[in-house]
Amino acid sequence: MAIAYKHYPGMEVLSCTDAFAFKPHIHDRYVVWLNTGCGEHYSLKGETDILQPGTISIFEPGLVHANHPCAADKRHLCSFYVEPFFFEDLAMQCSDGGSAAFGFERKTVKDRELWACLARLHQSFFSESRNTDLDSGVVETFTSLVLRHGGARLKELPGKGCRSFSDTCDSRVNQAIDYFHANLDQEIRLKALAENLGCTQFHLIRLFRTHKGLSPHAFLLQIRLEHARKSLGKGLPISRISAAAGFSDQSHLTRAFKARYGITPRAYQKACS
């Protein structure tokens, strides 16, 4: 399969050899990713760059980004979507029980040895069943990542899954995001939301585009898709998930989900099981 997902306690692993372009999106988890086949174009906060083979990229939860391959026929995108608690636990173990509040010092890491370890670990996920060796590889590889490149101190952990640790955006944007999370199954009107936040619709759109790189509607869609993804992992009925996440019907969820993740909700749920 050109796009495949594997699940492991505390993380999800993606393998993509397809030319699929990941349009601007968010994750409620850390993203640790590399491309072992070719360079990978990516954009983040209005800036674009190329992640070359041998280099690792790390994104905090909630950062809007997009990426596509430099050479479609050579691509092998290897991504680890890691829950914050997984890194917090490793950080606590590394600090002998000290504070687990930490971040990564750089978004791009040039560490050829660690890159090779991550590439081997990624291959193991798609060639072996879970066993002691895989468990050891996960712990050793990600502990090395924390020890070598973690350590940036944080004042506080994010309150919501779709905010970045380094996020310093306008309070009205954060209030809107909190409202999105609390009302996913409701129809959310931009005018009413803007009035509740004490600004105009145009100003709220401008705030979101400045601080998040997406319109309020586009950011809300990303939150709904992440909510649906987690619910699919729990094995809930897709029709029920689509309603709870605010989609008009199951086909609406299917179209949006495939455009975002590259596979259908049913295929993703099958991978989870």
CA–CA gap between residue 68 and residue 245 (Å, rounded): 27
Contact between 115 and 34 (Cβ < 8 Å): yes
- Write down the pLDDT at residue 157: 39
Contact between 216 and 208 (Cβ < 8 Å): yes
The secondary structure of 169-220 as a DSSP string is --HHHHHHHHHHHHTTTS---HHHHHHHTTS-HHHHHHHHHHHTSS-HHHHH
Please check the confidence at residue 151 and state whether its pLDDT lies above 90.
Answer: no
Which of the two residues, 233 and 1, has the higher pLDDT score?
Answer: 233
Angular region, 10: left φ>0, alpha ψ -120 to 50, beta rest: left
Which amino acid appears at position 78 of this protein?
C
* Of 149, 141, 148, 140, nearest in space to 106 by CA: 149
The secondary structure of 78-126 as a DSSP string is EEEEE-HHHHHHHHHHHTTS-----EES-SEEE-HHHHHHHHHHHHHHT
Which amino acid appears at position 47 of this protein?
E
Contact between 36 and 78 (Cβ < 8 Å): yes
* Of 202, 203, 110, 219, nearest in space to 167 by CA: 219
| CB atoms closer than 10 angstroms to residue 98 | 11
Radius of gyration of the chain (CA): 19
CA–CA gap between residue 135 and residue 153 (Å, rounded): 28
Please check the confidence at residue 215 and state whether its pLDDT lies above 50.
Answer: yes
Mean pLDDT over residues 136-161, rounded? 72
> What does pTM read for this prediction?
0.88
Q: What domains, with CATH codes, occur in the chain?
A: 3-152 (2.60.120.280), 171-272 (1.10.10.60)
CA–CA gap between residue 218 and residue 206 (Å, rounded): 13
- Write down the pLDDT at residue 154: 39
- Write down the pLDDT at residue 113: 96
Q: Under DSSP, is residue 242 helix (H, G, I), strand (E, B) or coil?
A: helix
Mean pLDDT over residues 168-179, rounded? 90
- The residue to which tokens 């712990």 are assigned: 139
Contact between 245 and 224 (Cβ < 8 Å): yes
- Write down the pLDDT at residue 116: 96
- Write down the pLDDT at residue 238: 96
Could you read off the pLDDT of 52-98 as tens digits, one per residue? 999 999 999 999 999 999 999 999 999 999 999 998 888 888 776 55
Could you read off the pLDDT of 1-55 as tens digits, one per residue? 599 999 999 999 999 999 999 999 999 999 999 999 999 999 987 789 999 999 9
- Write down the pLDDT at residue 96: 62
